[in-house]
Amino acid sequence: MVFALVSALTVGITQLARVLPGLGAYVQLLVGGVFLMAAVRLARREPGGMRRIGIDLAGLLTPPDANDERPAGPLGIYDLGRALRAAAPSGAKESLVALGVAAVVFPPFVLGFHAWYAPSAAFELRFPDELGAFVLTQLIVVALPEEAFFRGYVQTRLSDRFTGEGWRIRIDPRVWLLQAALFAVIHLASDLNPAKLAVFFPALLFGLVRAWRGGIGAAMLLHALSNVLAAVLEASWQIR
């Protein structure tokens, strides 16, 4: 039911953007907001839910302790600083894991990318426009919400249904395949292009990484890196 409702909202936003001028620039932000809000609100329905479904990001997304008497600072800046400091060791570790997996997976991905698209242009390294903003968008607007909802909430609830072990390292094959299939379905529903189903395969990798690490941190970083790599390859081989 949750997946059906989120899918309906996603399709509604993308279709509305086609008839309302100016809305198209905010589609990713709006859809990402739906994914993230759904995951967070549903997780908070149970004690420790944010951690159990792996989306607390070492406390970064967890609200400050109500009993903490230290000043929050203007707009909560002090609370944010304390959360970032507390999350830094875990963030560094998950970043290294993501980079290690990328070092293994990305070379064959590049070869497969070339074989699939068979570009006619010679490779000339190019980056997306406004690279810094693009990378942040992929990390915060795309990877974080998608991983929070699919590898966080959906994968955990499927694990509860099939194995009763929502965040353990082991992952039931049914859970592994179904979370990736649902990820592909929602991409197809928002854009009726069969090529969108290809996201099934990276979703398998993200699902394994999330199950291995117990949280979405490494999977989120790997997701963002994958999107950036694909964009660089498209620009460098001039693939439209």
pTM of the full predicted structure?
0.92
Question: Within 13 A of 221's CA, how many CA atoms are on the CB side?
Answer: 19
Long-range Cβ contacts of 11-15 (<8 Å, 24+ apart): 11/189, 11/190, 14/190, 14/191
Do the Cβ atoms of 121 and 240 come closer than 8 Å?
A: no
Give pLDDT tens digits for 153-168: 999 999 998 876 544 4
DSSP 146-188: HIIIIIIIIHHHHHHHHTS-TT-S---HHHHHHHHHHHHHHHH
What are the boundaries of each domain within the chain? 2-236
pLDDT digits (tens, 9 = 90+) for 5-47: 999 999 999 999 888 878 888 999 999 999 999 999 999 998 8
Write out residues in the chain with pLDDT < 50, as ranges: 166-168
Instruction: Yes or no: say if 159 and 172 are a contact pair by the CB < 8 Å rule.
Output: yes
Q: Report how far residue 91's alpha carbon sits from residue 60's, in angstroms, rounded to the nearest whole number.
A: 10
Specify the 3-state DSSP secondary structure of 198. helix
Give me the amino acid identity at 6. V
